[in-house]
Structure 1
Amino acid sequence: MWSSLPVPSVQELVKEPLTTIPPRYVRPHQDPPFVSNATSLPQVPVIDLKKLLSGDLTDSELDKLHRACKEWGFFQLINHGVSSSLVEKAKIETQEFFNLPMEEKKKYWQKAGDVEGFGQAFVMSEEQKLDWADMFL
């Protein structure tokens, strides 16, 4: 079973004036962000679930999925059958959650030894580098 150590909320960290980035969020050995003009930015991979489920993989949808996971770590899924109104409702409710006051969000804080809830997941050590983001899993 996965577990995660509790860490401070990024939203709480930025309430204080920061003159430097906290060391746990600095990744000196990582490539700097890719900066370019909007016309040449790479496109997020698009995966067609209908094609994946059809069993007809002649157009290599499975290969596209593999590359998206390996190279990007995420993708846009189309033809999934979920109504656009439900997707929009989930998006709005997620934004509403993150706009709540911190005291309200803390009711959903990850419990020690768990990965579900508000915070950062998969924090395994005090030295681990962290993402500059809060999550709700």
Structure 2
Amino acid sequence: MEAKGATYYNSIIVPSVQEMAKGKMIKKVPQRYVRSGLDKAEITDECGPRTKIPIIDLNRLCSSTYTASEIDKLDLACKEWGFFQANPNFLDKLKSEIQDFFNLPMEEKKKLWQQPCDMEGFGQAHVVSEEQKLDWGDMFYLLMQPARLRKPHLFPKLPLPFRECLEAAIIRLSILLLCLL
């Protein structure tokens, strides 16, 4: 059975922010990308040193020689925070491949452009009106799991190193999830 993917959103296609900025198509940031002061989140440092979110070493946690202290840190993070930070080292290669993808020529990225009525692909996330405030940045949204929902017109067109890296990351994250369960 061929994977068809799922369409969840009706999204308007908008120009690439990267190309607008690079190509000097604009003299100033278009109004739809400018947010009022009301839209800005306030960042404070009032919480003090007690609020450090635990960083969990997932490699250590899932190894056969794991330590009770790592399990205790995970337990504390889940009870007090409801989430935790993971040591990002295992994502370094994926981050590099993502950067390489965004540095591709626009002609290559256009092959992966969002389709009307579909959020997956290269472009902007969930644009529903011409008046909507948008983020000043492009994104690439791709559903990876379950594999049967992958869009056949997107995944095979990704550069091979990026595709292989995504697959490896999914496998690694799946193993990690099983370990945590």
Scaled to the shorter chain, the TM-score interval is: 0.5 to 0.7
Q: How does 1:8-87 map to 2 (within 5 A)?
A: 8-14=15-21, 15-16=23-24, 18-28=26-36, 29-31=38-40, 45-46=53-54, 48=56, 59-65=76-82, 76-78=85-87, 84=90, 87=91
Choose the corresponding residue for 2:129, options 119, 125, 128: 125
Give the structure-1-normalised TM-score. Answer: 0.65
CA distance in 2 between partners of 1:124 and 1:116 (Å): 14
Larger radius of gyration: 2
Q: Counterpart amino acid of 2:30? A: P
Percent sequence identity over matched residues? 47
RMSD value, Cα: 3.6
Q: Which protein, 1 or 2, shows the higher relative CO under an 8 Å CA cutoff with sep ≥ 6?
A: 1
Give the length in aligned residue pairs: 116
> What runs of 5+ residues in structure 2 fail to find an aligned partner?
1-7, 62-70, 142-181
Residue number in structure 1 paired with 2:9: 2
Q: Distance in 2 between matches of 1:16 and 1:23?
A: 16
Distance, in Å, in 2 between the alignment partners of 1:44 and 1:99 is 34
Query: For residue 100 of structure 2, what is the aligned residue in structure 1?
Result: 96
Distance 1:101 1:60, change over 3 A: closer
Which one has a larger percent helix, Structure 1 or Structure 2? 2
Identify if the C-alpha distance between structure 1 residues 32 and 90 changes in structure 2 by more than 3 Å, giving closer, same or farther: closer
Please give the TM-score of this superposition, normalised by the length of structure 2.
Answer: 0.51
Q: 1:63 to 1:117 in 2, by over 3 A?
A: farther
Give the Å deviation of 1:17.
5.7
Counterparts in 2 of 1:95 and 1:23: CA distance versus 1, 3 Å: same
The 1:92–1:62 alpha-carbon spacing in structure 2 relative to 1, beyond 3 Å, is same
Measure how far apart 1:92 and its partner are.
1.5
Shift of 1:124: 1.1
SS at match of 1:59: helix
Is the contact made by 2:54 and 2:77 (CA closer than 8 Å) also made in structure 1? no
Asked if 1 retains the 8 angstrom alpha-carbon contact of 2:9 and 2:117, the reply is yes
Following superposition, the deviation at residue 130 of structure 1 comes to 0.3
